[in-house]
Amino acid sequence: MAWQTIAKSERDWAVTPNLQNYEDTRRTFSWESALRELDGLPEGKGLNIAHEAVARHADGPLRNHLAFRWLGKNGEVEDFTYGRLHTLTNRFANVLQNLGVGKGDRVYVLAGRIPELYIAALGTLKHRAVFCPLFSAFGPEPIRARLTIGQGKVLVTTQMLYERKVKTIRASVASLEHVLLIGDDHRPTNVPDTIDYRTLMERASDAYAIQPTDPEDVALLHFTSGTTGTPKGAAHVHGAVVAHHITGKLALDFHKDDIFWCTADPGWVTGTSYGIIAPLTNGIASIIDEGDFDAERWYGILQSQKVTVWYSAPTAIRMMMKTGPEIVRKYDLRSLRFLSSVGEPLNPEAVVWSKEVFGLPFHDNWWQTETGGIMIANFAATEIRPGSMGRPLPGIEAAIVRQNGSGAVEEIRDADVQGELALRPGWPSMFRAYWGEPERYKKCFAGGFYLTGDLAKRDRDGYFWFVGRKDDVIKTSGHLIGPFEVESILMEHKSVAESGVIGKPDPVALEIVKAFVVLRKGFEPTEELRRELLAFARTKLGAAVAPKEIEFVASVPRTRSGKIMRRLLKARELGLPEGDISTLEAN
Ligand code: AMP
C-alpha cells in the first residue's frame, strides 16, 4: 500500500505531546496506572464520573478555573467555573433526590446545546442515576422508541421541544413520571403534567454528597442503530471515566491551559465522552456553541475564544472546504495547536487541506458508541497517513478478523487484508449491555473479540484503514441511522405497502437517507404524494432521521426468507454490479 505521509512541524509541537513515543507508551501503559490519575470518591467509596469531572476540581485549585464557556446562538456568553458547575450540578442532583429518583433510574435529556443539558448530565451522574441523551433533531417517534426501551423515569426538555415533539407521545411512555421543562427565554413554564425546571433548581440545596459508586454502576445510556430492529441502548459504567480521561490526554493531547472545542452534540456519544466528561476530568476549559454549523461563525469562535484543541467531524470539515480557503485567512487562528476528527472516514484531501489552511493537519480517530471512547488514533507526536484512522491507543488491542470455514472467528495477521475490525474486550469504557437485550449483546463477541461491525485493513506498520460498514446502517452527517426505523415509519402511511431504505453516497454528508417505496393499490406515484411522504416522515422522525429522497418502485428486492436486500437497492442506485443475488426472492 502506498501512502503519503504528513510529517510534523514546530507548530504541531507548540507544547510537548503527552504521548511522545508510541511504542514505549504502549509497552508501559496499564489501566491500573491510568486509574491512578483519578482521585476516586473520598474514603474509598468508589469511582463516580461527576466526582472526577467536577467535584474534585471544585474542591481544589481549579475552583475558579473556567470549565465551560457557553456561547448562545444569539450572541449570549455565559461562563461556568468548576466551582459554579459544582454548585449547579449539586442542585440538580438534589432536584432528582427530591423527586424520589433513585440510583440507576434513567434520566433523559432532550435539548439543544444549552447549559441546562450539561448541568442535568453531571447532576444525574452525581446522583448515580443513568444519563440518557436524546438528540434534539429527533422527531416524536425516535424519542418515544428510546424512552420506551430505557424505561425513562425523568425527562428534562425545553418547553418548545416538549410541545413540538413529546406531548403527542407522552401518554404512550408509561414509565415517565416527571417531565421537567426549561422555559424558553428564561420564562417560567406552566404546562399541565410538567414541572418547571428553574423553580426546582432555585429551591434545591447547593450541597450534595455523592454516595458510594461502584465502578460497574451504570452511568450512561447511549442509543445507537443497527440494521434491523429497534435502536440499541449501549450502557456504560462509571468506571468508563478512566478511558475518557486518559484518551483525552493521549489522543486529544489535553494540556492544562488548553481551550478545547468539541463540536459534537451531546445527543451522540462524542458530545458526552469528549464534549462533557474528558475535558472536565482533565481540568481544562471547553467551549460549548449552541449555534448550528456556519463556517464563518466557527472560524470566529476559534479566533475569539483562542481555541487550542479542536475536535470536529468530517461532514463539517467538508463543508468548510466548500466555503474555500480565502475565508479562513480573514481570521487569526494562531492559537490552534491540535486538530482532531471522528465519526466518519476523513478524506485524505481533508487532511492535506487543513494542513494548508490552518498549518495543522486533522488527526483522524476511530471509535463508536459501544466503545465509549477513542480506540484508534493519529497522535500529536507521530506522522499522519492521510486516509488512515491511525493506531490503537495504549491499552487497546485491535485486530482484523474473519470467520473461517467452520464459522469460527480468527485473526488475520497479514497486512493489507480486509476483514472485520475487532477489539479485545477489557478496556474500561466498553459497553456492558444493550439495554434489556442480552442476546443482541452476546452476538457482538466471538473468538475472544468484540466485533465492531466495521470492515478495515491494517498496514504493515500497524496503521488501520477504514473500508466500510459490514451492515446496512447509514452514516449521515456523522449520525448513525438504522434503516429499519425509517422503513417502519414510512409503512405507517396509508399509501405505503413496502419500503427499503439505504444510505445514498453524498459528497458532503457522506450519505443521505434514501427510501424506495412501493405503493398500495389505488395510490398513484405522483410528485404530490412523494412530497406528502417526505413531510410525513419528517414530522414523525425529525430532520436527523427522515429520508431526504423518496423514489417510487414497483417492488423492493427481498431474500427468500423475506429480508429486504438493501445492498441490492444500493447497487442498483449506484449502477454497480448486483453481486450475489442467488437468495433473491422471485417476484
Ligand atoms: P457511532 O456509534 O454513531 O459513533 O458510529 C460509529 C461508527 O462510525 C463506526 O462504527 C464507523 O462505522 C464510523 N466511524 C467512526 N469514526 C470513524 C473514522 N474515523 N473513520 C471511519 N469511520 C468511522
The per-residue pLDDT for range 363-416, each reduced to its tens digit, is 999 999 999 999 999 999 999 999 999 999 999 999 999 998 888 999 999 999
- Tell me, what CATH number does 416's domain have? 3.40.50.12780
Total number of domains constituting the chain: 2
**439 & 490 share domain:** no
- Residue 503 within any structural domain of the chain: yes
To test the pocket of ligand 1, the residue of 224, 366, 444, 510 to mutate (highest count of ligand atoms within 8 Å of its CB) is 366
**152 & 216 share domain:** yes
**298 & 346 share domain:** yes
* 93-106: average pLDDT: 98
> In the structure, what pLDDT confidence band is assigned to residue 586 with cuts at 50, 70 and 90?
low
Closest atom, ligand 1, to C-alpha of 376: 19
**368 & 271 share domain:** yes
* 29-37: average pLDDT: 98
365 CA from centroid of ligand 1 (Å): 9
Helix axes 527-541, 140-150, angle to 10 degrees: 40
**φ/ψ (deg, to 5) at 248:** -60, -40
- Phi-psi sector, 225: left (phi>0), alpha (psi -120 to 50), beta: beta
Q: pLDDT of 265-278, one tens digit each?
A: 999 999 999 999 99
To test the pocket of ligand 1, the residue of 344, 385, 393, 481 to mutate (highest count of ligand atoms within 8 Å of its CB) is 344
Chain-centre distance for alpha carbon 437: 21
Decide which of 405, 433, 458 is a domain's last residue.
458
* 55-82: average pLDDT: 97
**451 & 518 share domain:** no
Helix axes 314-323, 295-304, angle to 10 degrees: 100
**φ/ψ (deg, to 5) at 47:** -135, 125
Measured by CA distance, the residue closest to atom 20 of ligand 1 is 345
The three-point CA angle 447-448-453 to 5° equals 75
Question: Which H or E run includes 562?
Answer: none
What is the rounded CA–CA span in Å between residue 482 and residue 473? Answer: 5
* Percent of the residues in the chain that have a pLDDT greater than 70, as a whole number: 98
| Three-state secondary-structure class, residue 231 | coil
Is the pLDDT assigned to residue 580 strictly greater than 80?
A: no
**134 & 201 share domain:** yes
Chain-centre distance for alpha carbon 400: 24
Pairing outcome for strands 178-182 and 154-158: parallel
369 CA from centroid of ligand 1 (Å): 8
Closest atom, ligand 1, to C-alpha of 468: 12
> In the structure, what pLDDT confidence band is assigned to residue 3 with cuts at 50, 70 and 90?
low
To test the pocket of ligand 1, the residue of 454, 455, 458 to mutate (highest count of ligand atoms within 8 Å of its CB) is 454
Is the pLDDT assigned to residue 191 strictly greater than 90?
A: yes
> Is the model more confident about 579 or about 535?
535
Average predicted confidence (pLDDT) for the chain: 95
Question: Which H or E run includes 107?
Answer: strand 106-110
Pocket of ligand 1 (CB under 6 A): 224, 269, 342-345, 364-366, 368-369, 389, 452-454, 466, 469, 475, 480
- Residue 413 within any structural domain of the chain: yes
557 CA from centroid of ligand 1 (Å): 28
**277 & 331 share domain:** yes
Closest by Cα among 207, 194, 223 to 89: 207
479 CA from centroid of ligand 1 (Å): 9
452 CA from centroid of ligand 1 (Å): 10
Residue 66: the pLDDT is: 98
Is the pLDDT assigned to residue 1 strictly greater than 80?
A: no
Cβ proximity of 285 and 311 under 8 Å:
no
Closest atom, ligand 1, to C-alpha of 364: 19
Residue 581: the pLDDT is: 64
Measured by CA distance, the residue closest to atom 7 of ligand 1 is 368
Residue 587: the pLDDT is: 45
Decide which of 411, 435, 458 is a domain's last residue.
458
Which residue range is the domain that position 100 belongs to?
10-458
222 CA from centroid of ligand 1 (Å): 15
Q: pLDDT of 311-365, one tens digit each?
A: 999 999 999 999 988 999 999 999 999 999 999 999 999 999 999 999 999 999 9
- Residue 463 within any structural domain of the chain: no
Decide which of 403, 432, 458 is a domain's last residue.
458
> Is the model more confident about 585 or about 154?
154
- Residue 225 within any structural domain of the chain: yes
* Percent of the residues in the chain that have a pLDDT greater than 90, as a whole number: 91
Measured by CA distance, the residue closest to atom 3 of ligand 1 is 480
367 CA from centroid of ligand 1 (Å): 6
- Residue 518 within any structural domain of the chain: yes
- Residue 254 within any structural domain of the chain: yes
What is the rounded CA–CA span in Å between residue 66 and residue 283? Answer: 9
Measured by CA distance, the residue closest to atom 19 of ligand 1 is 366
**339 & 481 share domain:** no
- Residue 290 within any structural domain of the chain: yes
**21 & 138 share domain:** yes
Cell numbers representing residue 197 in the block: 425546571
- Residue 580 within any structural domain of the chain: no
**427 & 561 share domain:** no
542 CA from centroid of ligand 1 (Å): 22
23 CA from centroid of ligand 1 (Å): 25
**451 & 483 share domain:** no
**351 & 495 share domain:** no
* 124-151: average pLDDT: 98
- Tell me, what CATH number does 559's domain have? 3.30.300.30
